[in-house]
Amino acid sequence: MLDKAIDRLCRLFALLMVACLAGMVVMVFGNVVLRYGFNSGITVSEELSRWLFVWMTFLGAVVAVRRHAHLGTDTLVSRLPPAGKKICFVIGHLLMLWLCWLMARGGWQQTVINAGTTSAVMEASMAWFYASGVLFAVLAGVIIAHELFKLLTGRLDDSALVGIAESEDVPHGEAP
């Protein structure tokens, strides 16, 4: 049930990323045309584009955690027996959970510190800017904890113990 909810959320994030990218392209291109063609511009364009880029990056990072698309190496882990793979999986996931905790705590502190600060052009609370890191840390932590829970309850396939989505050794089009 949680897997389906996470998948739906990742699909929503993919759509939001498309909207962010489209908004950035329209604003930046429109601003260039207005500056060079009409000697004017969209004041909010640069700042809002930067905010959309940051949010798009963190939303994409959540989707990448779900799809195991972040960079990694499987040289050692892929050669271990199943017990060794499980030990490495647990250690790796505990380390990632710790990093998510650090990022959530730091992001929350920045969000609180900047709650009363507004951006220069949009005059929006800077807390919204830093909240992107908090959202990533919490959702990535949920995804990682869920995978760890599935391993500990025996519901994780042995093929999922190596967390690399694809390898350079495998020709394109073939499954790893």
- Cβ atoms within 10 Å of 80's Cβ, excluding its own: 15
Q: What are phi and psi of 80, to 5 degrees?
A: -80, 155
What pLDDT, on a 0 to 100 scale, did the predictor assign at position 170?
44
What pLDDT, on a 0 to 100 scale, did the predictor assign at position 70?
83
pLDDT at residue 37 is higher than 70: yes
pLDDT at residue 69 is higher than 50: yes
How confident is the prediction for the chain on average, in pLDDT? 90
Give the up-direction half-sphere exposure of residue 140: CA atoms within 13 A in the CB hemisphere.
Answer: 29
The average pLDDT across 141-160 equals 91
pLDDT digit string (tens) for 45-59? 999 999 999 999 999
What is the longest distance spanned by two Cα atoms in the chain? 67
What pLDDT, on a 0 to 100 scale, did the predictor assign at position 78?
82
pLDDT digit string (tens) for 119-141? 999 999 999 999 999 999 999 99
